[in-house]
Amino acid sequence: MSLFIKSSSMVIKCVWLLLLVLLINNVQAQMKTFNVNQYGGVADGKTDNSKAFTDAWNQACQNNGGGVGTLLASSEYQYSVGIDHWIVFRYIDNLVISGGGTFDGQGASSWPYNDCRKNPQCKALPASLRFDFANNTKIDNITLINSKNTNIHLFAGLNVIISNINISAPADSPNTDGIKVGSSSIVQIYDSVISTGDDCIAFLPESTNLNVTNVHCGPGHGISVGSISSNSITGLNVRNCSFVGTQNGVRIKTKSPSQPGTVAQVTFENIEMDKVDNPIIIDQQYCASSGCSPPKTSEIQITDVKYNNIWGTSNTKIAVLLKCSENKPCQNIELRDINLNYRGGNKPAKASCLNAKGAAYGKQNPASCLQS
């Protein structure tokens, strides 16, 4: 089924529960598909389907079982440029999205226009799903493909569960982060597969009490803490995850220069790396654009970060890179049972540390470079 959606607030409000995955007030009732085309929707890329969505919405709300299906974004670039979302949920409590539906962002026609890495005046493309101030939210058993930009963007959420998610976009699709989490607390992400052209999961400032378990990442840029230029992230646990063919594995990145802030109480544990460029990396001279000034020092304090039982293969010789701030050296870094092999022949992997203080325990391959 194809359909066209204009990016008006009226239509976006109507999209909420239609076609796909919502309306599960009574999970015992029979599920039903609500096809917008049957309510007068026209998939010609021109028609405003607001009334069709409204009528389908009204019927879906009267059904105890809910609705299932696939929702397609417009494939036309001009209808997407300059807005930050395709579908948004704001100021909502006890939202549940589930049921096996698919969000197809149809991003391939828009990706060639994304020049944000070299053009500071670029116009943003929309995230597929955005959640602002959505508390006690559960997002389960849905698929997102070919987003024009970020797939799921969570902002200022409290007590959010994201599980059994399948996210897919080509490795060369720009800025198609899987899940972005900012200014949020008590967030759980588990049992999911994320394949993107950017970070599989990115944790942004002012977030705390975060847990990631049993997530497969690849392709993509790994699981990242950053890009941080101020404020803090505390209480992140990433466990029992795997990375295949990613640019990074577990990464903490802060911009340089930056305002004061903190990254603290972070644990990466039981992680498999398979053909990963930078399996373990802290970069406090991070710069995403090509026009950056020479590296300056970061004022973000990174402390109490644990890497425990991380194994696999590195595409680069430097399998552990801890490049910390001169003004704010990393403190209390712990390496325990690290076993990363360099894929480039018989040469061993190496570790490189700059302004990184901590201790190493158990097996260390490569040999630890931490300062005591």
Q: Is 153 a catalytic residue?
A: no
Q: How far apart are CA 17 and CA 327, in angstroms?
A: 50
Kindly list the distances between the CA atom of residue 1 and the CA atoms of 14, 65, 104, 106, 361, in Å, as whole numbers in the listed order: 18, 21, 11, 13, 56
Q: How far apart are CA 168 and CA 165, in angstroms?
A: 10
CB 243 within 8 A of CB 282: no
CB 181 within 8 A of CB 233: no
Q: How far apart are CA 81 and CA 294, in angstroms?
A: 32
Residue with tokens 């060369």: 172
Q: Which two tokens stand for residue 95?
A: 């939202």
CA neighbor of 189 nearest in space, from 166, 219, 218: 166
Catalytic residue among 85, 153, 216, 221: 221
Q: How far apart are CA 131 and CA 199, in angstroms?
A: 18
Quick count: other Cβ atoms within 10 Å of Cβ 331?
16
3-class state of residue 38 by DSSP = helix
CA neighbor of 196 nearest in space, from 216, 172, 214: 172
Q: How far apart are CA 337 and CA 316, in angstroms?
A: 20
Give the residue numbers annotated as catalytic, written as ranges: 221
